[in-house]
Amino acid sequence: MNNLSVSALAQVIENDRLVKPSQSVFQLPEKVLQFGTGVLLRGLPDYFINKANNQGVFKGRIVVVKSTSQGDTNAFDTQDGLFTQCIRGLENGEKVEQNIINASISRVLSAKEQWNEILECAANPNMEVIISNTTEVGISLVKEDKIDAAPPVSFPGKLLAFLYHRYKAFNGDPSKGVVIVPTELIVDNGAKLEAIVLELAHLNGVDPAFMDWLESSNHFCNSLVDRIVPGKLPEADKAVFLQEYGVNDDLMIMSETYSLWAIEANDPVVSEKLSFYKVDKGVVIAPDINKFRELKLRLLNGTHTYSCGLAHLAGFTIVKEAMEDDEYRGYVLQLMLNEIAPAITNDEITYDEAKEFAEKVVDRFRNPFIEHKWLSISVQYSSKMKMRNVPVLIKHYERNQQVPELMAIGFAAYIRFMNCIETDGKFVGEANGEAYNIQDDHAGWFAERSSLNAGAIVEEVLKNEAYWDVDLTKLPGFAAAVENWYGQLVAGRVKDVIRESHSVKA
């Protein structure tokens, strides 16, 4: 069986479940430099660019820079940069299965071995966009980094060297500036990257005229990405796919249906250069993207955190399993619609927007193709509760003095889940007659209080102002509600608690 490649495309039969690129796509100029070969970049930005190219909108391909020494680029070379993206999930409760052969990548270059070729791309007049996903550690200042190294050590150093080369190649032409969109999962990633690049430019003593060009002709945009891209298809599914389409694909990836790339910008030049936004509502260019971050943090991440302990105590192992249970799914949906959504609405977020997002979250949680374990979600449970959920709890009480019973259930389940002892340097909890490891920096605190009765442990947790930055026992009725639900969970009435949550009034 041949590997997927430009020449092998003729063997692949296009149908309703498979989208092939047209031959004209391979003639498009290189317009994007992408730092990173990972599945998130291929499953989200590269997906949008490929879709736009197929519709004759963006009309540009990607040069990918491989910065790490791990792995090689052989598969990309063998397959001419082509890879299949298998989209699997639910939309409005309906199952979606689509396979797309992505032709957005022109070539992959190694920073270590092909740095001169990467710099040559800086002299390409068509180059307009730079994308990155170098992990959060990648956006950091290495003061000793030199831009004349081959290559510089850090990602900001490589980026600065590329921009300096481009400045010189076009004699500081303002129109040759680029749009830089990092996708690393840190707040204000574009602003932080820009600050590091500017400081590194000062440390390298570059031409003051270049500094002016760097600041005035280039656009560093904050962005937020949201799409689950687990990686490869399960082997059994891949075997069926390969049999059906007749080619092998070592770069095949799977992603969920949902996609969001929110990019913060208000300059029309940015929208012009990122024209791929026109073909998919999953790309949003807005002057402020905080709304999208808040929706994701509170309704997606926050709901995961509120519900993971309860799901585990109920005997569910993976997310989709719990979400197929009508009673548990009802708890999750009511938590989002009746308590979290009303607490986060403001001048930027309407209730209808929060409701629409919440309904999509339910589809995402129910995705039958993704094996997402509740114990994985519970890692660093305490810090997630503090960051994601306590601020929403406080907002609820600022607007409504009625006890948020569904949040109280989530908090009670958190305390019950964290009830543990230390054994051989590990913190171990027990539920349904089975032990489980707790991976949480705060677990030792709970282990020291494992002998406390229900009322005492609930009070100890909630009044821990040193941890939560607020005394949660001062919230009217909240401690009593948490203690009530905690007592039922300790008694093993988990399914009853889930069932009773449906009778809670908003």
Which backbone phi and psi does 434 adopt, to 5 degrees? -125, 145
Say if residue 258's pLDDT is above 90: yes
Say if residue 237's pLDDT is above 90: no
From the number of C-beta atoms within 10 Å of its C-beta (0-12, 13-18, 19+), residue 135 rates as middle
Give residue for tokens 């810090």.
Answer: 383
Q: Where are the domains of the chain?
A: 7-286, 290-503
For the stretch 182-234, pLDDT in tens is 999 999 999 999 999 999 999 999 999 999 999 999 999 999 999 999 988 88
For the stretch 33-91, pLDDT in tens is 999 999 999 999 999 999 999 999 999 999 999 987 666 688 999 999 999 999 999 99
- The per-residue DSSP string of 288-305 comes to --HHHHHHIIIIIIHHHH
The CATH number of domain 7-286 is 1.50.10.10 = no
CA 25, 104, 78, 253 torsion-angle sign: negative
- Residue 196 near residue 156 (C-beta atoms within 8 A): yes
- Residue 25 near residue 268 (C-beta atoms within 8 A): no
Tell me the two tokens of residue 269: 């030049």
Query: β-strands 426-431, 421-423: how paired?
Result: antiparallel
Say if residue 506's pLDDT is above 70: no
- The per-residue DSSP string of 8-31 comes to GGGGSPPBTTEE---GGGGGSPEE
CATH no. for 290-503 = 1.10.1040.10
Query: β-strands 129-132, 179-182: how paired?
Result: parallel
* H or E segment to which residue 374 belongs: helix 374-377
Which backbone phi and psi does 441 adopt, to 5 degrees? -65, -15
For the stretch 376-435, pLDDT in tens is 999 999 999 999 999 999 999 999 999 999 999 999 999 999 999 999 999 999 999 999
pTM here is: 0.94
Give residue for tokens 């959060």.
Answer: 136
